[in-house]
Amino acid sequence: MIDTVKNAENTPDQEQPYKELGLKDDEYARIREILGRRPTDAELAMYSVMWSEHCSYKSSKVHLKYFGETTTDEMRSKMLAGIGENAGVVDIGDGWAVTFKVESHNHPSYVEPYQGAATGVGGIVRDILAMGARPLAVMDPLRFGKPDAEDTKRVLPGIVAGIGGYGNCLGLPNIGGEVVFDESYQGNPLVNALCVGAMRKEDLHLAHASGTGNKVILYGARTGLDGIGGVSVLASETFDDSAGKRKKLPSVQVGDPFTEKVLIECSLELFEKGLVVGIQDLGGAGLSCATSELASAGDGGMHVYLDRVPLRAKNMTPAEILSSESQERMCAVVEPGNVAAFMEVCEKWDVIATEIGEVTDGDRLVITYHDEVVVDVPPRTVAHEGPVYHRPVERPADQDELQANTPDSLPRPENLLELIKIMAASPNLASKKWVTQQYDRYVRGNTVLAQPSDGGMIRIDEETHRGVALSTDCNGRYTKLDPYEGAKLALAEAYRNVAATGATPVAVTNCLNFGSPEDPGVMWQFEQAVKGLADGCAELGIPVTGGNVSFYNQTGTTAILPTPVVGVLGVIDDVRRRIPTGIGAEAGETLLLLGETKPEFGGSEWAHHVHGHLGGLPPKADLQREKLLGQILVAGSRDGMVSAAHDLSEGGLAQALVETCLIGETGARVFLEGDLFTALFSESAGRVLVAVPRTEEQRFTDMCTARALPWRKVGVVDPESNALEIQGLGELSLDELREAWEGTLPALFD
Amino acid sequence: MRVGVITFPGTLDDVDAQRAVRYADGEAVPLWHGDHDLKGVDAVIVPGGFSYGDYLRCGAIARFAPVMQEVIEAANKGMPVLGICNGFQILAEAHLLPGALTRNHKLHFVCRDQWLKVENNSTAWTTRYDAGAEILIPLKSGEGGYQADEDTLKELEDNNRVVFRYVGENPNGSRNNIAGITNARGNVVGLMPHPEHAVDALTGPTDDGLGMFLSLLDTVVKA
């Protein structure tokens, strides 16, 4: 029997499985108070998914407010939409608006690597589409356990194949990302997916359902039983046993990239023809989320006829239909006069579209199923007025001990030349070609830079050559040692990577991956990281336009390294001025190191890879320096003074040299001063290795000196040598370096 | 020069093929899979992607699309037709070209910059290249392994119908390192790598692919 509102009124004392659905006693009591009765099965399903940590941000909300508090009007001046929308939108000039966002799909990808990762890509792409933008490119920051662990061999190939399988078929170039290994991600890999899209400024679509009488149209794939996790209890209770036991589909959704590709093209045609008033994608929490968010963001109520939803399974209950996470679906609000034209476009693309409801003049979200009311709620209470937790926050007792255990006493190697090779072959620094060559980076023909470049870059406008650059970064070891400084360092690196391509950084997104919010130590890490990131953004003068929080990333009581992945978006007026990562593009180049090198080894790749050590303090972030460095790089690109640039991060100068030589397929002669170990392997922030044509050397270094940016000449590019020579140490042939750098991942995963 | 570029549901590289035609001073004419005529074009490109999701088998459904019936008829009368990647698979399924494309031998999707040797510079699409020239253009496919029986391979080799061959390590297990072939008449060419992604060194590894579209221009002007 279907549990209707009438039934709920008549059976106030009926027991409900709210605990199994993840609701606490007081949360359930609040729902009863809001409704003045017990919720129906369908209402309970809705509240339970929408009030989940994933949808409601109940543990993080109080901390995330800090982003808003630290964003000034000036920082906001280029922002067309921000936190709270499907994705942030930034005005990049020439009439273009760019939207970007990164989201996690960690847990599904552990359970079912291929589909988990694939639907992670699908979800973020629909978020971008729901802003009215054409999705243009994707990037995937990934974290795995130990590279040689059995489980890593299971999840990594599956996740990579899933991202490629979905993204390639969708026709979006994959232009960057990260692959990081650390034991803490064993049993809890991180799959974060970023998408960037663009639209003309006037075409921005926000998710709202205004205008009484407007129609609500669900279009895209049919709704099935996939992705229903939370409602399993309800499903088994309401299902008629006489028809036999229902086979439950896995709670990881199954993706169909072909359907999504068609959905994108169909949606863009609908936008172009002006047929859409409001739009929302269906992701986590499915129709529950889409209808309650559309209704609560509009100025009226909404009536949804649930029995009209096209299904792909028989006998689905209203609760199941509402919480299904079947992929490739969108929900649009359309003026009645445009419904026929809307349907015509959908027909052209063979997309199923169904009018499932309308905007009403009340303030309730009413959902009926075969004329019986199964949901009657104030939509804001579902979508926006969920519980807010002030979780206990406490600096972990062992934080002091961790910081006191510095890397100063770790033995340093005799043979530094050998160490360069060992580090180049270490899984975290090794070439990620094995991964990235499974991704299409060329489709649509606008990819100007892609992995292994510091940042990805795409052309937005073929006439004006305007484009954007993107980078995502985070070093979880730094964040573990000092979450505040670590978050700033993640921001600094992403900022520097974007600047190293010649683009001006303008906006920030994030994906905050942490352990359990019920652990006060984890909440401390979270609070510190949010503060560090927000303070850093204020110092750089660029806003956070959106983000995502993923909690409960832990195995047993052991949390992952706190991993606030930071994505930075940059704008370049003319992509033809982009700075490549590899040397050798021009004859006669000088190598300059910009920034200062200090003996900073806390959380370094060397301490991790060679000694398995994590302790001390991370490098110090200096955001004023990063800003200056960025300005110098942008000026250098604009005036054609820089022929290659590569940021220094994990592995220090040694790794930057190896990569710039191998990517450019050109040798170099390097001369360093002082302690060579520090010069080569320190991970001091705020440094970039640049190659400048000899004819520009004086002009460029004069500019650095005039603006008080420390610089040092560290070598020359030598196209004849085919080796990396370091004065005082000897030389490494590019062949042996390539073998070290490119051999590791194939040896592990082929 | 008016060049039709077909879009099936799931086609991805149509915008790239259209751009390549424009770079060669041609007019790109979009053709929809349901069209029943070719809008008077001089040549047709069947671009890459995952037509109809590549369900059943790559290209197997697309060959039955209404527009393909027009393409088959025109090709048989001598119209220049180019199939790239999924387009090559479709032309093979439509029997405009012999053989079949199968799963890469290492099973992974492969996206890389690939050196090719131009074996035949007398087709409608390759006259701008020197015979034996080596060009660098992207290869990106999961099912790019060219397979054919011995008789077909002999027929292709003996009649100079192999147009492009992979240089260096075979990326996908193709027989005889075959990257692209032509029909007996030389008007229909299919290849797995993507010349339309190599028309500008800014966005591709080189502009080596532009030669194919310029060759077409010569062919059309001469006709």
CA dist., res. B68 & res. A344, Å (int):
24
B203–A446: do the CB atoms touch at under 8 Å?
yes
CA dist., res. A582 & res. A499, Å (int):
15
CA dist., res. A711 & res. A708, Å (int):
9
Closest CA relative to residue A216, chosen from A125, A329, A336 = A336
Q: What percent of chain A has pLDDT over 70?
A: 96
Length of chain A: 750
CA distances from B127 to A65, B6, B119, B222 (A): 64, 23, 11, 12
pLDDT at A298: 79
CA dist., res. A267 & res. A439, Å (int):
25
Q: What is the residue range of B145's domain?
A: 2-222
Collect all residues with Cβ–Cβ distance below 8 Å to A455 and sequence separation of at least 6.
Answer: A176, A449, A469, A470, A471, A497, A498, A500, A501, A503, A570
DSSP string, A452-483: TSSSEEEES-TTT--EEEEEEE--HHHHHH-H
B194 is catalytic: yes
Length of chain B: 223
CA dist., res. A548 & res. A102, Å (int):
7
Collect all residues with Cβ–Cβ distance below 8 Å to A181 and sequence separation of at least 6.
Answer: A143, A144, A145, A146, A147, A152, A427, A428
Q: Minimal Cα–Cα distance from B4 to chain A, Å?
A: 18
* Chain B residue nearest residue A580, CA to CA: B202
Collect all residues with Cβ–Cβ distance below 8 Å to A449 and sequence separation of at least 6.
Answer: A175, A455, A456, A457, A469, A501, A578, A580, A581
Q: Is residue A564 within 8 Å of A490, Cβ to Cβ? A: yes
Q: Is A242 a residue whose pLDDT tops 70?
A: no
Tokens of A154: 């299971």
At A207, is the pLDDT very low, low, confident or very high (cuts 50, 70, 90)? Answer: low
* Residues of chain B contacting residue A268, judged by C-beta atoms under 8 Å apart: none
Which of A425 and A326 is assigned the larger pLDDT?
A: A425
CA dist., res. A656 & res. A430, Å (int):
12
pLDDT at A238: 34
ipTM metric: 0.96
Closest CA relative to residue B6, chosen from B90, B97, B78 = B90
* Residues of chain B contacting residue A750, judged by C-beta atoms under 8 Å apart: 106
Tokens of A494: 């992403």
Which of B203, B206, B210, B213 best tests the A interface by mutation, with the highest count of A CBs <10 A? B203
Q: Is A234 a residue whose pLDDT tops 50?
A: no
Pairing between strand A544-550 and A504-513? parallel
Pairing between strand A190-200 and A96-104? antiparallel
B204–A442: do the CB atoms touch at under 8 Å?
yes
Q: Exactly one of B93, B119, B143, B194 is catalytic; which is it? A: B194
Q: Is residue B88 within 8 Å of B23, Cβ to Cβ? A: no
Would you call A501 an interface residue with chain B, using a CB distance cutoff of 8 Å?
Answer: no
Q: Is A249 a residue whose pLDDT tops 60?
A: no
**Is residue A553 helix, strand or coil?**
coil
Q: Minimal Cα–Cα distance from B136 to chain A, Å?
A: 14
Q: Minimal Cα–Cα distance from B106 to chain A, Å?
A: 9
pLDDT at A239: 33
Would you call A467 an interface residue with chain B, using a CB distance cutoff of 8 Å?
Answer: no
Write the CATH number for B99: 3.40.50.880
CA dist., res. A171 & res. A265, Å (int):
11
Q: What angle do CA A415, A682, A687 make, to 5 degrees?
A: 130
CA dist., res. A172 & res. A440, Å (int):
8
Tell me what the mean pLDDT of segment A656-685 comes to.
Answer: 97
Axis crossing angle, helix A483-499 with helix A520-540, rounded to the nearest 10? 40
Q: Is residue A48 within 8 Å of A21, Cβ to Cβ? A: yes
Pairing between strand A329-334 and A504-513? unpaired
Closest CA relative to residue A742, chosen from A734, A717, A455, A456 = A734
A262–B10: do the CB atoms touch at under 8 Å?
yes
B111–A439: do the CB atoms touch at under 8 Å?
yes
CA distance between the termini of chain A: 53
Q: What percent of chain A has pLDDT over 90?
A: 82
B109–A168: do the CB atoms touch at under 8 Å?
yes
Closest CA relative to residue B127, chosen from B194, B48, B220, B43 = B220
CA dist., res. A571 & res. A98, Å (int):
10
CA dist., res. A554 & res. A152, Å (int):
16
Point out the annotated binding site of A for ATP.
57, 101, 510, 547
User: What is the average pLDDT score of chain A?
Assistant: 93
Which tens digits make up the pLDDT trace of A582-620? 999 888 999 999 999 999 999 999 999 999 999 999 999
pLDDT at A250: 53
Report the predicted TM-score, pTM, of the whole model to 2 decimal places.
0.95
Which of A349, A439, A442 best tests the B interface by mutation, with the highest count of B CBs <10 A? A442
Which of A170, A345, A440 best tests the B interface by mutation, with the highest count of B CBs <10 A? A440
Amino acid at A14: Q
pLDDT at A140: 97
* Residues of chain B contacting residue A443, judged by C-beta atoms under 8 Å apart: 12-13, 16, 140, 197
Q: Is residue A503 within 8 Å of A570, Cβ to Cβ? A: yes
Closest CA relative to residue B5, chosen from B101, B83, B90 = B83
**Is residue B219 helix, strand or coil?**
helix
List the A88-93 sheet strands across, edge first. Answer: A79-81, A88-93, A96-104, A190-200, A134-144, A174-181
Tokens of A619: 């490098």
pLDDT at A230: 37
Region label for A152, one of left (φ > 0), alpha (ψ between -120 and 50) or beta (otherwise): alpha
* Residues of chain A contacting residue B9, judged by C-beta atoms under 8 Å apart: 258, 261-262, 349-350
Collect all residues with Cβ–Cβ distance below 8 Å to B159 and sequence separation of at least 6.
Answer: B184
Q: Minimal Cα–Cα distance from B158 to chain A, Å?
A: 35
Q: Exactly one of B33, B58, B70, B85 is catalytic; which is it? A: B85
At A639, is the pLDDT very low, low, confident or very high (cuts 50, 70, 90)? Answer: very high
A448–B202: do the CB atoms touch at under 8 Å?
yes
The b/e string for B50-71 (b: 16+ C-beta within 10 A; e otherwise) is bbbbbeeebbbbbbebebbebb
CA dist., res. A3 & res. A42, Å (int):
8
* Residues of chain B contacting residue A258, judged by C-beta atoms under 8 Å apart: 9-10, 50, 52-55
Closest Cβ–Cβ partner in A261, A441, A576 for B10: A261
Say how many domains are in chain B: 1
Cα dihedral B155, B157, B162, B167 in deg (nearest 10)? 150
Q: Tokens 């001469």 map to which residue?
A: B222
Which tens digits make up the pLDDT trace of A152-183? 999 999 999 999 999 999 999 999 999 999 99
* Residues of chain A contacting residue B210, judged by C-beta atoms under 8 Å apart: none
B140–A161: do the CB atoms touch at under 8 Å?
no
CA dist., res. A278 & res. A330, Å (int):
11
Residues 521-560 of chain A with CB under 8 A from chain B are: none
Which tens digits make up the pLDDT trace of A318-337? 999 998 888 899 999 999 99
3-state secondary structure A379-437: HHHHHCCCCCCCCCCCCCCCHHHHHHCCHHHCCCCCCHHHHHHHHHCCCCCCCCHHHHC
Amino acid at A289: C
Tell me what the mean pLDDT of segment A720-728 comes to.
Answer: 94
CA dist., res. A487 & res. A489, Å (int):
5
What's the half-sphere exposure (Cβ side, CA atoms, 13 Å) at A70? 21
Tokens of B193: 């790598």
**Is residue A332 helix, strand or coil?**
strand
* Residues of chain A contacting residue B194, judged by C-beta atoms under 8 Å apart: 442
* Chain B residue nearest residue A447, CA to CA: B203
Q: Tokens 């921001």 map to which residue?
A: A491
Per-residue pLDDT of chain B (223 residues; tens, 9 = 90+): 999 999 999 999 999 999 999 999 999 999 999 999 999 999 999 999 999 888 888 888 999 999 999 999 999 999 999 999 999 999 999 999 999 999 999 889 999 999 999 999 999 999 999 999 999 999 999 999 999 999 999 999 999 999 999 999 999 999 999 999 999 999 999 999 999 999 999 999 999 999 999 999 999 988 7
Tokens of A500: 């190293």
* Chain B residue nearest residue A449, CA to CA: B203
